[in-house]
Amino acid sequence: MRELLRLLAEDASGSELARVAGEDAVARDLALRIRAGIDASKKREAELTALVEVARELASASDPSGVLDTIVHRARTLIGADVSYLTLYDESRADTYMRATDGSLSAAFQQLRVPLGAGLGGLVASTRRPYWTTDYPSDQRFNHTNPIDHAVGDEGLVAICGTPLLVDDAFVGVLFASNRTARPFSREEVLLLGSLAALAAVTIVQVRAAAETAAALDALSLAHAGVEHAAAAHDRFADLVLSGGDVDAVAAALAELLGVWVVLVDAVGNELASAGRVPRTAVPWRESSSGRLTRAAGCWVVAATAKGERLGALVIGGVDDLSGADQRIVERAAVVTALVLLFRRQAAEQSQRAQADLLTDVLSGSGDMRALTERLRLLAPGRVHDQFVVAVCRGDHSAVRARLSAPLEDKLVLSGPYGGDLVLLLAQTDAVRELSEVARRAAVTIAVVGPVGWGDALVDAHRQATRLVTTMVRLGRCNEAATPDDLGVVGLVGASEVDVQVHVLHVLGAVLEYDAQRGTDLVGTLHAYFAAGQSPTRAATELHIHPNTVQQRLERVGALLGSDWQSPERSLNIQVALRLHQALQ
């Protein structure tokens, strides 16, 4: 058995493990199962790494044909297929047409059009669901047609897997991986092809939008070729779109081109960017709901919309009149703004999904820690060696995200749902006060534990925070944020380990500091007061001082600890802290 463990640690092959196990069938079976699990984990890490590389490669591509060639090549290599190909949806003809292939030899296959519902690809297109088959020519689940069967036969394809390219509810096309011999597609391969298809679909839509915007800007420039600032607008906006410029750059370019001030707000009126000498008065951002420029309250307003959704609005001021050419420049700027905001939202959604996946893998203890650390380094550069605070939020997740303040967002490293709660991983900070405001405004309950390091300590902190938030709900401590120390004795009981000194300072710190600075003994007075059954008179007798003196000291304690310090719960916590302080002394 020791030899088997050594071989496993040295990444030995299955044949080596079987040879050493010999006739011990149980040991051999167990070793081979562990070997298979290790291999599966390595394969999954390799696939995730490959998907990250694909995402980077697609993000840097700007040529539509180059993007499609990259997608099919990556699909073929990732799945290990003989041929991969991609069809795009033609809404006017209600079919899909072959747009890119990798490994294909047949001219007829490369020119194929597939009606909705016809063949495997037509079924994927009509149902928007993936389908796969070990032997397509003999599989009667699909509606076979002569053109499709002829093209597939000419290419020599047998096993085919197709998955839809979708962005939200919009259908873009179908991505395929196929082989010239019969072979099954595993569930993992289908999921991997689906992940690549999701990345591909978003990239195709983005590249199309960029190309359409560039074309629209080009048309605008041609229509106003005689106007110098129209040409300048075309160049500036085209550069912004194709170089990945943000909304600040759009606002600055528009303000410079037209000599105006510009304010960009989001869909609910929050300012996203501004340029020029913006007045302090409120801007009329609600006045326009379309992409046409509207005059309102001495300003010009145009909505930035995409797919019928209002993403924000541009407000222009500092000028009494705009020429027809200038008005069209502003409207084109709104189109560019909508495109940039859409890219920003899609990037944020992708980042949130990546963060949630990493957080799930870390907290569940799955995956190699070195690989998880590398993923953290990619998502949050410079944070690997940080100390973190774990916040478990119980309640409406969307309400929490909407109310995170800028200081908290700057410290947020990872976030995502786990175990029914929303988990926030923050760079080491005293976040309880800020999270308390979030909890109150979002009507959620938040347990805060830390700081801790990355790895196993993080898992332990999350478990403690989960226990703490459950305890808070049971005690009716809802719609607030708390640490274990904030719950006093209950927090001590629920903690996996306790720093007694820190707890004492959390409860009695103000009193201890007062005594140290002024040479008083309020702590001794509290000991006597509680020992006397909370009777100032008996405490005065024990301390050999006048009852009025005890009363004055207790009033000072109230000013330091809060007026509710003698309530049953606070009183119990203070007494426990006093005993712990006495033990430390």
Note down pLDDT in tens along the chain; length 585 residues: 555 555 545 555 556 655 555 555 555 566 556 555 555 454 554 444 444 455 555 555 555 557 788 888 888 888 889 999 999 999 889 899 998 999 999 999 999 999 999 999 999 999 999 999 999 999 999 999 999 999 999 999 999 999 998 887 789 899 999 999 999 998 888 888 888 888 778 777 777 776 666 655 555 554 444 345 556 666 667 666 666 667 777 777 777 777 788 888 777 677 777 787 777 765 655 555 556 777 776 777 877 777 767 777 778 787 777 777 777 777 777 777 777 777 766 666 676 777 777 788 888 877 778 888 887 777 777 777 778 888 888 888 877 777 776 667 778 778 888 888 888 888 866 677 788 888 888 888 888 887 888 888 888 888 888 888 887 787 777 888 888 777 665 555 555 555 566 666 767 778 788 878 888 888 788 877 777 777 888 877 887 888 888 788 888 877 887 877 777 777 777 777 777 666 666
Instruction: Name the residue range of residue 416's domain.
Output: 380-484
Is 494 inside any structural domain? no
Is 358 inside any structural domain? no
Same domain, 205 and 66: yes
Bridge partners of 416, per DSSP, are 423
- Of the residues 209, 243, 268, which one is the last residue of a structural domain? 209
Is 271 inside any structural domain? yes
Same domain, 81 and 176: yes
Same domain, 70 and 49: no
Same domain, 462 and 505: no
Please check whether residue 538 is in contact with residue 532, taking contact to mean a CB–CB distance below 8 angstroms: yes
Strands across the sheet containing 445-452: 412-418, 421-427, 388-394, 445-452, 481-482
Nearest to 285 by CA among 319, 310, 255: 310
DSSP symbol at 416 = E
Buried b (16+ CB within 10 A) or exposed e, 558-571: eebbeeebeeeebe
- pTM check: above 0.85: no
Same domain, 204 and 231: no
Question: What total of structural domains would you count in the chain?
Answer: 5
Q: Supply 159's token pair.
A: 């096993």
Is 255 inside any structural domain? yes
Cα Rg of the chain (Å, integer): 33
Bridge partners of 175, per DSSP, are 86, 163
Same domain, 318 and 451: no
Same domain, 81 and 186: yes
Same domain, 407 and 440: yes
- Of the residues 346, 369, 397, which one is the last residue of a structural domain? 346
Same domain, 421 and 449: yes
Find tokens 């100390």 and name the residue: 387
- Of the residues 58, 79, 101, which one is the last residue of a structural domain? 58
